[in-house]
Chains A and B, each alone.
Chain A
Amino acid sequence: MHVEEFRIAQFGARLGTRLEGEHARAQLESLIASLPEEGQVRLYLDGLEVLSTSFADELVGKAYQRVVDGGFGDRTMVLDTPALELADGIDVKLAQRKLAMLCRHDGRWRLIGFHTPALAETLELILEKKQTTARELADELGLQMSACVNRVARLADLRLVRRRKIGMKGPQDIYELHSILEG
């Protein structure tokens, strides 16, 4: 998978206003659009002192909204932060937009934004297995198949997993589920 880095500190250490965020977003969206299908942008917060909620929304919230809405095809976006407090503004604004994003801190991936423990639990298992099916997940999580399918569909809608159709069982599509993280 093609992964490109985008360091937000390139725009300054204390950010900032919506205007600043809007300028930065033009560069971010240009980078996302330049990626091959299924490519990924990894946003880095290192080097930042302050990231306001307004800047966070203008840069990350709005760009990620386009990613989730399918404006960039199957491309994805994740976050990497040296301190969780730095990601607070992004967390708040993603939640306000009812979006969730994978965020790495201290070598561990977690969900920020709008999510539930059930969604996080399911995603964690998919990341761990890298590739799986709803049936496998339902068995391992002890869930009814319909509940598991709903969770997976929500994760796919949020661009947190990739779903590939591999067949049909009766009237139902059968999907293979893939982590959006490389390796």
Chain B
Amino acid sequence: MNRNLSQLTVETIDDVVQQVLVRGAARVDLRDVRQIDPYALLLLTLLVLEAQERGIASRFDWPQSPDVRAWMRAMGFFRQIGASIASPSAGRSDALQPVAEIDDEASLGRVVDGFHDRLAERYPLTEASRRTLTAILIELFQNIPHHSNATGEVADPHGLAAMQDDDEAITVAIADKGIGLRGSLGLRPGYEEVSDAGALDAILRDGISRFADAGRGGELQRIVGVVRSWDGSFALRSGSALLYFNEQGGDIVDAPPFPGVQLAIRIPLRCFDATSVDP
């Protein structure tokens, strides 16, 4: 499946994961990539780091498009993977929110404020949109310190978040390479043997959390409800399972195994239009 890729998105990035981690490809050809979404960018970042840690010597041929390279640089991709790549001066970038690191709960407020302010600079958010989106970001971001290394077995879960707009929507992506949903939920009695797909299902359908406290859990379930009500799309990948839905429907599908949790929400731009109906 060493096909030439023109877009790196939720639908295609797992081809790259497959090439590197499953096939151990010596060379990964991304030269023809002309578009990358934030979800794919974060997963690609973590993939490069994971390959380095595993000693997989894949060589990546980065996109040749000046604009794509300029965007990747502006988003902080090359800095994150510790590479220094020349980007042609002709390249243009409209990066909205570069990759931010999510290390601990205490610094989350600053990261959320940064996302909020960058979004508010570009879009006239309605009060309800601002409130809902900020609350969603807080809930999603804090999952990293709460869950990504709940067992303490990961040296660094590399929590990352980024955001980008296009002509139709805004995409927010959050990713880590920690213990994953199965690893976190597996800490709860009764869920020790849960599968990746089973953990996804329990968390999203039943609102289960690794904590037995009645007040915990249900946040991702509610976020899915909000995204659906906005006619947006949602991707949640953990281990070897990927849930993806858009306004046409969706399902849980198999994915090449990868540590941690990677998530994206894509919200139509009309939700940020002050003249539209508040979400």
A residues near B (Cβ < 8 Å) are: 12, 14, 16-20, 49-55, 57-58, 61-62, 65, 85-86, 89, 92-93, 96-98
- B139 near A53 with CB under 8 A, answer yes
Q: Which residues of A contact B218 (CB under 8 A)?
A: 53, 92, 96
B139 and A18 contact, CB distance less than 8 A: no
Cα-based distance from A65 to B213 in the complex (angstroms): 11
The complex places the Cα of A44 from the Cα of B71 at a distance, in Å, of 44
Contact surface of B with A, Cβ cutoff 8 Å: 105-106, 108-109, 112-113, 116, 128, 130-131, 134-135, 138-139, 142, 146, 214-219, 222
Q: How far, in angstroms, from A16 to B135 measured CA to CA in the complex? A: 8
Q: How far is the CA of A54 from the CA of B139 in the complex (A)?
A: 7
With contact pairs A92-B218, A96-B214, A97-B214 given, residues A53 and B105 touching in the complex (Cβ less than 8 Å): no
Q: Measured between C-beta atoms, what is the minimum distance from A13 to chain B in Å?
A: 10
Q: Which residues of the partner chain A approach B139 to less than 8 Å between Cβ atoms?
A: 52-54
Given the known inter-chain contacts A52-B135, A53-B222, please indicate yes or no for A17 contacting B215, CB distance below 8 A: no
Main secondary structure on A side of the interface with B: helix
Q: Is the CB of B138 within 8 A of A17?
A: yes
The contact sample of 5 A-B pairs, CB cut-off 8 A, is: A14-B112, A52-B139, A54-B142, A92-B218, A93-B215
Interface-central residue, B106, B215, B217, B219, by most chain A CB under 10 Å: B215
Q: In the complex the two chains form, is A50's CB within 8 Å of B108's CB?
A: no
Q: Which residues of chain B are near A89, meaning CB under 8 Å? A: 135
Q: A53-B219, A97-B215 are in contact. Are A17 and B135 (CB under 8 A)?
A: no
Q: Tell me whether B128 and A85 are in contact (CB under 8 A).
A: yes
Give the residue name and chain of the A residue nearest to B109 (CB).
Answer: A16
CB contacts (< 8 Å) of A55 on chain B: these are 138
